[in-house]
Amino acid sequence: MIHRSHTELFYHFTWSTYQRTKLISNSWENQLFDFIRAKCLQLRCLLSGVNATDDHIHVLLRGNATLSPASIAHDLKGASSFQINRDGICDRHFGWQDGYGAFSVSPHDVDMVARYIQNQKQHHATGDSRREWEPEDD
């Protein structure tokens, strides 16, 4: 009999731009999401949702059991900021804040969290964002 491990580790990450500067533009945010998506594939994580406002991002993924949430956040932030600066898609130097938020998500709640992330801009426009899932001011 072959014994295999089974894990369902879903994480909702959020982090802000450096000093909460409004750097993320609608004109290039899809490139940012592509960078996040590519890094998730490289890390063997399954991306379930990604969206941003002008000063922060939300990422929902199924984690690779061999990686800690801290290493996943570190790698996603590092790869995306590197590629944004390398490709010159932001009109000034781009960087993320040092910290991040990470929340474990029940498999039963993945769809609900994914919808929340998908509707980020509307939540912020109408003031109905969930404080516990938003980055805190530094």
Bin 44: left if φ > 0, else alpha if -120 < ψ < 50, else beta.
Answer: left
The verdict on residue 64 lying in a domain is yes
Say yes or no to pLDDT of 5 above 50: yes
The verdict on residue 76 lying in a domain is yes
The verdict on residue 2 lying in a domain is no
Residue 60's domain comprises 10-133
Number of domains in the chain: 1
CB-based burial of residue 3 (10 Å sphere; 0-12 exposed, 13-18 middle, 19+ buried)?
A: exposed
The tens digit of pLDDT for each residue in 39-86 reads 999 999 999 999 999 999 999 999 999 999 999 999 999 999 999 999
pLDDT recorded at residue 136: 59
The verdict on residue 4 lying in a domain is no
| Least confident residue range of 38-42, 125-129, 131-135 | 131-135
Whether 76 and 13 have beta carbons less than 8 Å apart is answered as: yes
The verdict on residue 5 lying in a domain is no
Say yes or no to pLDDT of 115 above 50: yes
The verdict on residue 33 lying in a domain is yes
- Nearest CA to 63 among 52, 47, 78? 47
Q: How confident is the model at residue 138 (pLDDT cuts 50, 70, 90)?
A: very low
129: domain CATH number? Answer: 3.30.70.1290
